[in-house]
Amino acid sequence: MDVLQRQTFVPELVLQLNISFACRSLNVRQSNNLERLQIHNRTICSAARQKTRQPTDAKSLSSHKPVVWRFLSLEVPAERDLGKDDCSVSHVLLDAIAHLLACPIKKGPRFVYTVDLHVDKLREASLNSDDVSQRLKSKPGKLELVSDKTCVADVTTLVSSCMTNSTMKTTKNTENKISSLHAPLNSYKHPNVTVIGSGPAGLFTALVLAESGAKVTLVERGHPVEIRGHDIGQLMVRRRLQPDSNFCYGEGGAGTWSDGKLTTRIGRNSETVKSALATLVKFGAPSSILISGKPHIGTDKLIHILRKIRSHLQSLGVNMRFGLKMIDFLVRENRIVGTKVQHVEDLTCEDIFADAVILAAGHSARDIYHKLLQHGVHLSPKDFAVGFRVEHPQELVNEIQYNEWASEVQRGSGKIPVADYKVTTSISESSNDNSLHPRQSSCYSFCMCPGGQIVLTSTDPAELCINGMSFSRRSSKWANSALVMPVSHSDLEPFLAEHGPLAGVAFQKFLERKASLMGGGDLVVPVQTVPDFLENHLSRVLPSSSYRLGVKEAALHELFPDHMTRMFKQALLDFNKQIPGFIDRRALLHAVETRTSSPVRIDRDTETFECISMQGLYPIGEGAGYAGGIVSAAVDGLNAGLALAEQFGLCKVILKENYVMDKLIYY
What does the pLDDT look like over 320-365, one tens digit per residue? 999 999 999 999 999 999 999 999 999 999 999 999 999 999 989 9
pTM for the whole structure: 0.79
Q: 611-625 b/e with 16+ CB inside 10 Å = b? A: bebbbbbbbbbbbbb
Looking at per-residue pLDDT, the higher value among 350 and 50 belongs to 350
* % of the chain surpassing 70 pLDDT: 77
Considering only CA atoms, which of 649, 643, 640, 603 is closest in space to residue 204? 640
What does the pLDDT look like over 268-311, one tens digit per residue? Answer: 667 788 899 999 999 999 988 887 778 889 888 999 999 999 99
Whole-number pLDDT of residue 17:
36
Q: Angle at the Cα of 640 (from 648 to 508), degrees rounded to 5?
A: 140
Q: Are 14 and 121 in contact (CB under 8 A)?
A: yes
pLDDT at 217 over 60: yes
The rounded distance, in Å, linking the Cα atoms of 200 and 153 is: 18
Whole-number pLDDT of residue 338:
97
Whole-number pLDDT of residue 431:
52
* % of the chain surpassing 90 pLDDT: 57
Whole-number pLDDT of residue 295:
85
Question: Which of 121-135, 149-163, 397-411 has the highest average model confidence (pLDDT)?
Answer: 397-411
Instruction: Lowest mean pLDDT of 165-179, 409-423, 457-471, 635-649, name the range.
Output: 165-179
Find the mean pLDDT for residues 72-84: 77
Parallel, antiparallel, or unpaired: how do β-strands 478-486 and 385-393 relate? antiparallel
Residue 237 buriedness (CB in 10 A; 0-12 / 13-18 / 19+): exposed
Whole-number pLDDT of residue 143:
82
Instruction: Lowest mean pLDDT of 427-436, 569-578, 656-665, name the range.
Output: 656-665
Whole-number pLDDT of residue 27:
31
Instruction: Lowest mean pLDDT of 36-45, 307-316, 333-342, 629-638, name the range.
Output: 36-45
Find the mean pLDDT for residues 657-666: 36
Residue 111: pLDDT band by 50, 70, 90 thresholds?
Answer: low
Whole-number pLDDT of residue 435:
54
pLDDT at 436 over 70: no
Considering only CA atoms, which of 573, 568, 557, 567 is closest in space to residue 429? 567
Residue 433: pLDDT band by 50, 70, 90 thresholds?
Answer: low
pLDDT at 457 over 70: yes
pLDDT at 170 over 50: no
Whole-number pLDDT of residue 311:
97
pLDDT at 171 over 50: no
Whole-number pLDDT of residue 453:
95
Whole-number pLDDT of residue 395:
96
Whole-number pLDDT of residue 149:
55
The rounded distance, in Å, linking the Cα atoms of 608 and 418 is: 43
pLDDT at 479 over 50: yes
Find the mean pLDDT for residues 541-546: 96
Whole-number pLDDT of residue 412:
82
Considering only CA atoms, which of 230, 172, 229, 219 is closest in space to residue 194? 219
- Average pLDDT value for the chain: 81
Whole-number pLDDT of residue 151:
58
Considering only CA atoms, which of 199, 4, 3 is closest in space to residue 86? 4
Parallel, antiparallel, or unpaired: how do β-strands 319-322 and 324-332 relate? unpaired
Whole-number pLDDT of residue 12:
30
Phi, psi of 120 (to 5 degrees): -65, -35
Q: Are 388 and 527 in contact (CB under 8 A)?
A: no
CA dihedral 595, 599, 604, 605 (to 10 degrees): 90
Instruction: Lowest mean pLDDT of 107-116, 188-197, 368-377, 606-615, name the range.
Output: 107-116
Helix (H) or strand (E) holding 204, with range, is helix 200-212
The rounded distance, in Å, linking the Cα atoms of 622 and 361 is: 8
Considering only CA atoms, which of 353, 373, 325, 381 is closest in space to residue 614? 373
The rounded distance, in Å, linking the Cα atoms of 153 and 82 is: 31
pLDDT at 187 over 70: no
pLDDT at 663 over 60: no
What does the pLDDT look like over 490-543, one tens digit per residue? Answer: 999 999 999 999 999 999 999 999 999 999 999 999 999 999 999 999 999 999
pLDDT at 611 over 80: yes
Instruction: Lowest mean pLDDT of 347-351, 433-437, 653-657, name the range.
Output: 653-657
Considering only CA atoms, which of 480, 522, 303 is closest in space to residue 394? 480
